[in-house]
Amino acid sequence: MAVEELPTCEKCEELAGVVKCSCGARFCEQCFITKHLVRNPKHKHGGTSKTDKAWAWISGAISTLTDTSSRATQFEQDQNTKWFGLHVQKTDANDRVTRLVETSRFSSLVEASMHFDHGSPRRQFPSITSFVGETGGGKYTLVRSLIFSSRMSSAIDALEAPIPGVRSGSAACLPTTGEVNLYLDPHTFGTRHPQLFADCEGMFGGEPAAAQHQNEWFRGGKRYLLESKDGKPIDRKTAVMTIYPRFLYIFSDVICMVTRNQKAWADSAVKLLEWSQVGAHNTVNQYALPALIIVLNGPTIENEAWISDDQDAATRDFFAAIENEINEDVTLRTMASKHGDKSMKELLLRNFSSVHVHYIPLEGFRSLGNSGTIIPQTNRLALKLQHDIRRVQGERADTWTLFDVKQLRIVFDFAFKHLASGSNEPFDFAQCRQQIRLPQSTEGHFAEFIGRCLHNRVEENFDAVARIVGSCIVRNSLKLEGTRKCAHCMNG
C-alpha cells in the first residue's frame, strides 16, 4: 500500500503539514503552535487524516455513493435492509389494497448474530434503537457514524449502512428511503445483547427518492391487510404518523429524535410528544419505558459547552429554551393539565424513562465543524446509547418484558396483527407475556391463574377465585409448618 503524502506546512513550506487547522489550512506542529495560533487564537486543531477519512465514508463524500448510476445500484441493494413498511397494490379495478409488510430482515440479522462465531450465545436478547425525525435531519449520518465507530474490522465498505442523502437539488427535499430499515451494530453483533438500529422514514412521509429503485422489498414478506375503521384509505403519511410510531415506541430501548434546527426546539418538543403519545397511549402494561435522546445534528450554531466534560450542558439549555412553552403552547398546555405536569421535563418523562440532549457540530461550520470534533462527539453518543440500553433492558428483565429472539418473533407478529386490525384497544404486553412463556415462580403461576379467571368476568368469578387462592395459601402454610415440625422432631 502506498504511503499517502501530506502537503507541506503553509507557514514554513518545509515540513509536512501534519496538523489541519479548523480553518482548513495545514501546518507542521511547531508552526501551528508558535505562529498560527498566536495570530489566530480562535482557531483550533482540526481533524486528522484518520478522522477525515472516517467522515468521508460517513457523509458519503466518495465517488461511488455520489454518482447517479451508483446511487441507483445502492438503492436496489438497500432493499435487503427493509424491515417493515407500507405497501400499496393496485388491482385491475383500479382499487388500492394497502398492507403492512414485515420482511425477514430481523430474523436474518438475529440468526446471523447467534451463529456469528463459536462463542456466540444461542440465546440472545436483541436491543432496538430507533432513529426518528423530520426529513433532512440527518438520520442516515448518525446511523452510519455509529456503525463506523463500532466496526470490528477494517472492511467497513462490506457493512450494510443507510444510503447518504443528497444535499442539493430537488431530491434534497425528499426522504432518502422509505419504510423502516434495520442495521446491525458491529461491536455487539454476536453477543448476548446485539444492538440493532432502526432507521425510520421522515415523520411526515412523502414519496422517497429511492422508491423508483426499490420495487422488490415486499416480495416474500409477511403481509397484514390494513383495516380502516373510519373508511378512509391508509396512505404513507398515515402509516408514518400512526403505525410506525406505535410499533417502534413499544419495542425500542432508545428513541433518538434527530433535528437540525435549534431555533425550533419548541416545535420539536411538540412533535416529539405527539409522536410518543401515539405509542404510549396505545400500550398497556409496558413497565419499562424507552429512553429518549434528542440529537441536535449539525445546527447552524456552535457551543463549546456542549462538547465539554459536562455532558448535561445541552440538556439543561434545551429545557431552559422550551420551559415557557408549557404555558404558551395550547397543545402542550392541554397535555400538561391532563396529568398535572408542571414542567416540560415532567411532560416528557411521562412517556420516556430519561431525556438527554446530544450535540453534533455541523461539518464545515466555524471552528467546531471539523472531523476532529464530530467523530469524538459521535463516539460519545455511542457510549450514551450503550448506557441507556443496559439500563432499559435491566428494567425489562425486572418486569418480565425482556424477550429473547424466539419470543420477539412471536410478539412482533402479535403487534403487527394488532396494528393492522385498526383496533382502538391498546396493545397489551401482559397478554403477550402469557402467550410466550411459562411462569417461573409461584407468584407467576398465581398471576396467570388470576388473570385468566378474572378476564372480562371480575365480579362473577372474584369470590370463587379468592377462595381457591386462599385455600392454596393455607395448604402451603400447613405443609411448611408440618415440614418444620418433622425436622424439629428428627433433630430432637
Burial of 304 (0-12, 13-18, 19+ CB in 10 A): exposed
Question: Bigger pLDDT: 128 or 461?
Answer: 128
Cell triple for residue 257?
429524535
Are the beta carbons of 258 and 297 closer than 8 angstroms?
yes
Residue pLDDT, tens place only, 251-260: 999 999 999 8
Does 226 share its domain with 146? yes
Say whether pLDDT at 445 is over 80: no
Does 358 share its domain with 281? yes
The whole domain housing 6 covers 1-46
Which of 432, 447, 481 is the last residue before a domain boundary? 432
Residue 479 identity? K
Residue 440, pLDDT score: 61
pLDDT classification of 1: cutoffs 50, 70, 90: very low
Say whether pLDDT at 476 is over 70: yes
pLDDT classification of 222: cutoffs 50, 70, 90: very high
Residue pLDDT, tens place only, 14-33: 988 877 787 778 888 889 88
Residue pLDDT, tens place only, 234-245: 887 888 888 899
Residue 2, pLDDT score: 34
Say whether pLDDT at 137 is over 60: yes
pLDDT classification of 315: cutoffs 50, 70, 90: very high
Does 427 share its domain with 451? no
Say whether pLDDT at 112 is over 90: yes
pLDDT classification of 217: cutoffs 50, 70, 90: very high
DSSP string spanning 27-43? Answer: E-HHHIIIIIHHH-TT-
DSSP string spanning 69-118? Answer: HHHHHHHHHHGGGEEEEEEEEE-TTS-EEEEEEE-SHHHHHHHHHHTSST
Does 359 share its domain with 479? no
Does 40 share its domain with 76? no
Does 131 share its domain with 3? no
pLDDT classification of 281: cutoffs 50, 70, 90: confident
User: Stretch 300-319: mean pLDDT, rounded?
Assistant: 94
Say whether pLDDT at 206 is over 70: no
Say whether pLDDT at 291 is over 60: yes
Residue 29, pLDDT score: 81
CA 168 to chain centre: 27
Does 345 share its domain with 413? yes
What SS3 class is residue 490? helix
Our count of domains for the chain comes to 3
Which of 386, 416, 432 is the last residue before a domain boundary? 432
User: Stretch 161-175: mean pLDDT, rounded?
Assistant: 68
Question: Bigger pLDDT: 348 or 460?
Answer: 348
User: Stretch 388-404: mean pLDDT, rounded?
Assistant: 93
Say whether pLDDT at 102 is over 90: yes
CATH number of the domain that residue 131 is part of: 3.40.50.300
Does 135 share its domain with 205? yes
The crossing angle, in degrees rounded to 10, of helices 313-322 and 265-280 is 90
Does 258 share its domain with 405? yes
What SS3 class is residue 482? helix
pLDDT classification of 310: cutoffs 50, 70, 90: very high
CA distance 30 to 308: 26
Strand partners, 200: 180
Q: Give whichever of 76-80, 375-379, 472-476 has the largest mean pLDDT.
A: 375-379
pTM of the full structure? 0.80
Does 164 share its domain with 16? no
- Report the percentage of the chain scoring pLDDT > 70: 85
pLDDT classification of 126: cutoffs 50, 70, 90: very high
Say whether pLDDT at 5 is over 70: no
- Report the percentage of the chain scoring pLDDT > 90: 38
Say whether pLDDT at 231 is over 60: yes
Residue 4, pLDDT score: 44
Does 124 share its domain with 169? yes
Lowest mean pLDDT among 189-193, 224-228, 424-428, 439-443: 439-443
Mean pLDDT, the chain, integer:
84
Residue 448 identity? E
Which of 432, 456, 479 is the last residue before a domain boundary? 432
